[in-house]
Structures are given as C-alpha cells and as structure tokens.
Amino acid sequence: MKKYKLVFILLLWSRCGFSSVISTLRPISPEIKNTYSLTQFETIIANMPRVRSQDSLGVCFGFSSATVVQHYACLEQKSSCNPLDEMKEISPMSMVAWANPNDPNKRAGTWTNHSNIRFSGLGYGALGHFALDKNNMTFSESCYPFDQLANRYSDDKEAIETIVEKLKAEYDRFKTEGSTCEECLLKLVQKDLGAKTTLRDLAIGLKQKTFEQFLYTAFVGSCESGLIAITPPAKMNMFPKQNETANYKELLGEIKKVLSLGRPLILDSVCPYYENNKCTGGHSVVITGYRSICKKDNPKDCRDVLKIQNSWGEDWQKRNDDGWLDAKILLGDKPFSEGAVSWLTPQ
C-alpha cells in the first residue's frame, strides 16, 4: 500500500501504524476456504462509505468513527453514502479530537474544543461516538482536505519537511517571543498545504499548548461553513457496557445482532500484529458483515467470519478478500472489556 509523506508523519509514530511482523488482519487461507466452502448464513451492511487510507498517520480511530457516523447519517436520511462530495463527507480528522478526552472524567472532547488533540497514544472510536452523542455536530471533508494534502505530497518528503520546519519555527517563535508573522503562516497553510484557514484560525492555533494542537487548529480551524449536523441526533451504544466484560461467544452474538439491524460497528483495541507471541500495536476497524462457513460433508462444523472495513486503503481491502477475516483470530479468545464494540442508533 502506498504510504504518503504527510505533515504529521514527521511528528509522531502511531498506535495504528504498519509493521513487518505477522498480522492478525489477514484473510482466511485458500485451504481453509476450500474445506469450509458452504455458507450457512451471511449478513452484509449495504451503502458503506468509501474505503479510505490513514496512510502513516496514527488516527485509525478517527477513520473508523467517521465511517460509522457517515453510514448512520446516510441510513437515517436515506441517501447514498458513496460517492459523496466534500461538503457532505465527514472528516476523519474532525473525529480525532473527540476520540481523546480533554478530561478523563468527561470521557471525550467537544467539537468546539480541540485542545486534547494528539496523533499517537490511545485513541478510541467509541469515544468519538460518545462525543457525537452529546454534540450531534461534526466537520466536513471540505474543512480538512486530507486526500488533497496526501496526494499533493505523496512523493516529496523534502518539501513537506521544509514546510513543517517553517511552521514549527514560527510557532516556537510565538511561544518564546510572543509574536510571529501571521501573514507568513497563512501563506504556508493556504498556498503550500492547501488548507482553508483564516487569520482568526491561526490566532487561535498559536494559543494552543502544543505544536500538534496548533497544526490541527490551523488546518481545521472554526470552519463554520463546513459543519455537518447529524440528524436525527445519534445515540452511542457499546458492548460490553460499563463495568462489564464479555467472552468471545457473547461478543460475537452482540455483533451479529447489531449487524442484523443494519448497523456497522467499531471494533476498538484490535491487536494487528504479534511478534514472539506478544501483541504489538493497536488498531481500530469497522465491522460490516458476518458469515458462517461450514464443511459440506459436515454442516455442523463451521467457522465464524467477519467482514471489516479497514483504514489501510483500497489496495489492502482488495488484497485481503475485501476484509473477510477469521473472527476468532480477529477478536482473539480473551475477556472483552467495556466498549469493545460501539455503534449508533437514533436517540
């Protein structure tokens, strides 16, 4: 899969990144598929948003949350989810701030306060849903043209490094001297990075505590013209519930139940890789289907298969049987804690 050289690659390594070790996100082998060739039951969510790539940016949780919110909006409004113009497509980056709490006691941020933004560490799509439950407002892709930025600098690492260095220098100068050339910054983010940013956005960004917060505010800003109201208001559901746990059978049963209602689910805390029998990294994906495959000569001998929409791009999706994975390998055989999966329904 093509990895773009984004601004944020230079900042932090991610919990949702790529690795050379053996992945649990792999399709069922041809040998097993030939043995288990009888499909007993299948349910697939229709009208899903387009498959996107987070590239090397550690925001899988923002992409998974945006995907489920987008499907919710399309389902409730009886509209097509693919294709969408940038004024109607929900920005994954707008969900990133919500997926990291401003205050652990409050659990999630709000769309008016992105002071909690970071591009690594723990982030959960479920928290993005929790925030949406309270706000019912998000930003469109027109506010943060992620694909445009990625494509523009896909093969020019040196150019993007130079721009980031200039942005960081101006931000640091403001923090140490109390002043900077805001017009110079505006030129950088508007002309060189293609962001729809105003001087007001930059002024707010410069007051943020970290360079990451500044970048997020500078790119997204207030962008009031790109706000999307989620109607009807969405309710966040999760399983297991607070202070509860579930085993594999219970979790799979809940996933099948929600899918049968036409709702995709976020699966947080996925272990994408194992190295020396130890989990490395973490990931968040969207579950969009379930299938029971059985042996033709023994229909009672079956395997559970889940379909996921991953944020590693269309190439990954095509190479991995369109996301059909062995449920036991994907989920693992372990106790599942609060919010392992989450989904949206009307309030």
Is residue 149 domain-shared with residue 211, that is, in the same domain?
A: yes
Asked if 180 contacts 174 with a C-beta cutoff of 8 angstroms, the reply is: yes
Q: Is the pLDDT of residue 102 over 60?
A: no
Is position 16 within any domain?
no
Distance, in Å, from the CA atom of 194 to the CA atom of 209, rounded to the nearest integer, reads 24
Is position 279 within any domain?
yes
Taking residues 300-320, report their average pLDDT.
95
Taking residues 242-262, report their average pLDDT.
96
Is residue 125 domain-shared with residue 222, that is, in the same domain?
A: yes
pTM of the model: 0.80
Mean pLDDT lowest among 70-74, 143-147, 151-155, 248-252: 151-155
Of 229, 258, 289, the residue at which a domain comes to its end is 229
Is residue 325 domain-shared with residue 312, that is, in the same domain?
A: yes
Q: Is the pLDDT of residue 10 over 70?
A: no
Distance, in Å, from the CA atom of 87 to the CA atom of 145, rounded to the nearest integer, reads 10
Is residue 67 domain-shared with residue 190, that is, in the same domain?
A: yes
Of 209, 229, 249, the residue at which a domain comes to its end is 229
Give the domain range for residue 268: 22-46+234-346
Mean pLDDT lowest among 162-166, 259-263, 267-271, 279-283: 162-166
Is residue 183 domain-shared with residue 332, that is, in the same domain?
A: no
Asked if 71 contacts 105 with a C-beta cutoff of 8 angstroms, the reply is: no
Q: Is the pLDDT of residue 265 over 70?
A: yes
Q: What is the pLDDT of residues 12-44, one digit of tens each?
A: 333 454 444 677 898 999 999 999 999 999 999
Is residue 67 domain-shared with residue 176, that is, in the same domain?
A: yes
Give the CA distances from residue 147 to residues 92, 93, 283, in Å, rounded to whole numbers and listed in that order.
11, 11, 21
Is position 141 within any domain?
yes
Q: What is the pLDDT of residues 149-188, one digit of tens each?
A: 555 555 555 665 677 777 888 888 888 988 888 888 888 7
Q: Taking each helix axis from N to C terminus, what angle separates 211-220 and 199-206, rounded to the nearest 10 degrees?
A: 160
Is residue 70 domain-shared with residue 85, that is, in the same domain?
A: yes
Give the CA distances from residue 9 to residues 55, 121, 217, 286, in Å, rounded to whole numbers and listed in that order.
9, 14, 17, 23
State how many domains the chain has: 2
Of 178, 194, 229, the residue at which a domain comes to its end is 229
Taking residues 269-281, report their average pLDDT.
83
Is position 142 within any domain?
yes
Burial 285-299 (b: 16+ CB within 10 A, else e): bbbbbbbbbbeeeee
| Token pair 């909690």: residue | 116
- Pick 258 or 338 by higher pLDDT: 258
Asked if 292 contacts 7 with a C-beta cutoff of 8 angstroms, the reply is: no
Give the CA distances from residue 54 to residues 12, 68, 273, 281, 330, in Å, rounded to whole numbers and listed in that order.
14, 15, 17, 15, 20
Is position 54 within any domain?
no
Asked if 74 contacts 81 with a C-beta cutoff of 8 angstroms, the reply is: yes
Is residue 33 domain-shared with residue 156, that is, in the same domain?
A: no
Distance, in Å, from the CA atom of 115 to the CA atom of 100, rounded to the nearest integer, reads 10
Q: For residue 11, what pLDDT is reported?
A: 32
Burial class (CB in 10 A: 0-12, 13-18, 19+), 266: buried
Q: What is the pLDDT of residues 186-242, one digit of tens each?
A: 887 777 666 667 888 788 888 877 776 777 676 655 566 778 888 898 888 999 998
Is residue 262 domain-shared with residue 142, that is, in the same domain?
A: no
Is position 339 within any domain?
yes
